[in-house]
Amino acid sequence: MSPSRSKSTRSAGRTTRGKAAPRKRGGPGRGGGKGAGGGPRAAVPAKPAPPPPNPAALALARQIAVLCQDKKALDVSILDVRGMTSYADYLVLASGESDRQVTAIADHIDEKLKAQGVRPLGSEGRETGTWVLLDYGEVVVHLFYTEVRASYDLDGLWADAPREKVA
């Protein structure tokens, strides 16, 4: 808009230049209508329904957690992030005490699931072994070197997500 043109607003069939149109009296909450509220109030939206269960994804997450334990992973947990994120239903978090152990856990998961015909959509971080991510679609696996897990604090980031500790 150029400086020479003034702002126009339109209200109730009248146009004013440079200032807002006068408001009608007696609208909702202004004390001018019937009843104390001045008109009907909008209903409070209901709490959204919980996301539908995904038993196949939960079974895969639990299987991955067991495979992590096969290689002595520490602090294995499954986070239910259905309805909180669009990219996965479950996250599996696990830690290893060395970069070699983290890589070995990732290799073990890949090997066992490939034997069942389940292949990851992608994987990242095998080169360093400090944080390996395996993406199985509805289940995303985060394998951390113990100190790296503490610094990224995905457990804290997803603190609101229901979790299942795997013993």
Instruction: Output the pLDDT for position 137.
Output: 96
Structural domain includes residue 153? yes
DSSP SS3 for 164: strand
Structural domain includes residue 16? no
AA letter at 156: G
Structural domain includes residue 10? no
Structural domain includes residue 61? no
Contact 29, 38 (CB under 8 A): yes
Instruction: Output the pLDDT for position 18.
Output: 52
Q: Which residues of the chain have pLDDT under 50?
A: 1-16, 27, 29-30, 32-33
Q: Which domain holds residue 104?
A: 73-165
Instruction: Output the pLDDT for position 85.
Output: 92
Instruction: Output the pLDDT for position 12.
Output: 47
Which residue matches tokens 């070197």? Answer: 145
Structural domain includes residue 65? no
What are the tokens at 13?
């069939």
| Cα–Cα distance list, 124 to 37, 131, 138, 164 (Å) | 58, 8, 17, 24
- The rounded distance, in Å, linking the Cα atoms of 146 and 127 is 17
Structural domain includes residue 51? no
Instruction: Output the pLDDT for position 52.
Output: 84
Instruction: Output the pLDDT for position 39.
Output: 58
Instruction: Output the pLDDT for position 6.
Output: 46
- Work out how many domains the chain is built from and give that number: 1
Instruction: Output the pLDDT for position 40.
Output: 65
Find, among 132, 134, 150, the residue nearest to 75 by Cα: 150
Question: Any idea what the CATH number is for the domain that residue 135 is in?
Answer: 3.30.460.10
Instruction: Output the pLDDT for position 51.
Output: 79
Instruction: Output the pLDDT for position 43.
Output: 72
